Structure 1
């Protein structure tokens, strides 16, 4: 699939990377200089944070599906994506051992693209909703 400079296609492709766990694809879609305004503590750079999270989703969940609920483009070039992830908690998730429970949670990403890759992101995931499902 050729994405080119289409920010919406880039945002959708990134969701597919999280769904598939294809860490190698991250370098095609994300700038090495990604500015992540919500970067997890202890990660060296924005792109490293994406790699860590893609790997964690792949390790922690099976049957992962990510549905893009909404996508829009702002007048100043940001892509807004609301999504829902479903899966089964079959591996370690940041210290929480596998429970075998089904999960469903949502999030919102705001991406900015330049030169065919994402260069900036703001995001909010409902991790409270997820944690409640795997620790209840």
Structure 2
């Protein structure tokens, strides 16, 4: 195995650990794999504390939460992750009131990893999922 493929393999392992921390809502785990200088280029939730806050929000809003990595692709210091998450929307999620309905979402995120730490992230969630939840909420409120 070449040094380049070893590096990309190690970087993919860091991202696998990240998703394990998200699944377990593990703030201490984020501190081990996310650099203090980490920049979230999508949501502005920087550093390990940003990941911990995001995971806490998800777990508070969705009971039976589960996130699954579907695909990981790495090149140099970048790792792209395709993921799928499910749960039941039983708590407030930003402006969305609980619908008590099953929730499902997909996304494609990119991470820059170096030295076993996530330095940068770019998050992309399927917007149809959020719009569908908003429509369901509006129907409940107007129904």
Normalised by the length of structure 1, the TM-score is 0.83
Q: CA deviation at 1:49?
A: 2.4
How far apart, CA to CA, are the structure 2 residues paired with 1:131 and 1:13?
A: 30
Q: What is the aligned partner in structure 2 of residue 57 from structure 1? A: 58
Q: Extract unaligned runs of 5+ from structure 2.
A: 1-8, 137-143
Q: CA deviation at 1:61?
A: 0.7
- What SS class does the counterpart of residue 123 from structure 2 fall into? strand
Q: After superposition, what is the alpha-carbon deviation per residue over 1:20-67, rounded to whole angstroms, capped at 9, x for unaligned?
A: 212221101100100211124xx5x34332222111011111111111
How far apart, CA to CA, are the structure 2 residues paired with 1:131 and 1:87?
A: 17
Q: What is the aligned partner in structure 1 of residue 98 from structure 2? A: 98
Q: What is the aligned partner in structure 2 of residue 70 from structure 1? A: 71
How far apart, CA to CA, are the structure 2 residues paired with 1:95 and 1:104?
A: 17
Structure richer in helix, relative to its length: 2
Q: CA RMSD in A?
A: 1.9
How far apart, CA to CA, are the structure 2 residues paired with 1:109 and 1:128?
A: 16
How far apart, CA to CA, are the structure 1 residues paired with 2:93 and 2:135?
A: 11
Q: What is the aligned partner in structure 1 of residue 116 from structure 2? A: 116
- What SS class does the counterpart of residue 22 from structure 2 fall into? helix
Give 1 or 2 for the bigger CA radius of gyration: 2
Q: CA deviation at 1:87?
A: 0.6
Segments of 4+ in structure 1 off by > 4 A? Answer: none
1:34 to 29, 34, 38: 38
Normalised by the length of structure 2, the TM-score is 0.80
How far apart, CA to CA, are the structure 1 residues paired with 2:77 and 2:131?
A: 33
How far apart, CA to CA, are the structure 2 residues paired with 1:6 and 1:126?
A: 28
> 1:63–1:34: structure 2 CA closer, same or farther, 3 Å change rule?
same
